[in-house]
């Protein structure tokens, strides 16, 4: 069974182009899903595709240059029918 990852990221992840950088990295890795800012200051990502572990490694390394990741939680879930990777508002 293929899975998608539901990822919660805490740290300096808003106001540092985290969503745009995540979208660009996901597109580079040919992944689908979305990224969104959460009201509590975290970022939430859902991602699927063969190279999703590479995106998780990128996030764990801090994401974009101005970002700082203090905590990451990854949960597996059943794949959905995502057609692209996009920023949600």
What is the residue extent of each domain of the chain?
3-81
pLDDT at 26: 98
| CATH number attached to the domain at 3-81 | 3.30.70.100
Name the residues annotated as catalytic. 19, 37
3-state secondary structure the chain: CCEEEEEEEEEECCCCCHHHHHHHHHHHCCCEEEEEECCCCCEEEEEECCCHHHHHHHHHCCCCCCCEEEEEEEEEEECCCCCCEEECC
Q: How confident is the model at residue 2 (pLDDT cuts 50, 70, 90)?
A: confident
* pLDDT score of 3 more than 80: yes
């Amino acid at each position: 069974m293929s899975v998608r990852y539901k990822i919660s990221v805490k740290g300096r992840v808003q106001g540092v182009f985290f969503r745009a950088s995540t979208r660009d990295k996901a597109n580079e890795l040919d992944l689908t899903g979305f990224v969104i800012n959460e009201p509590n200051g975290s970022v939430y990502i859902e991602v699927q595709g063969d190279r999703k572990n590479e995106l998780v490694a990128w996030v764990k390394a801090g994401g974009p240059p101005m970002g700082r990741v203090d905590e990451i939680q990854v949960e597996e879930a059943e794949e959905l029918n995502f057609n692209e990777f996009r920023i949600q508002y």
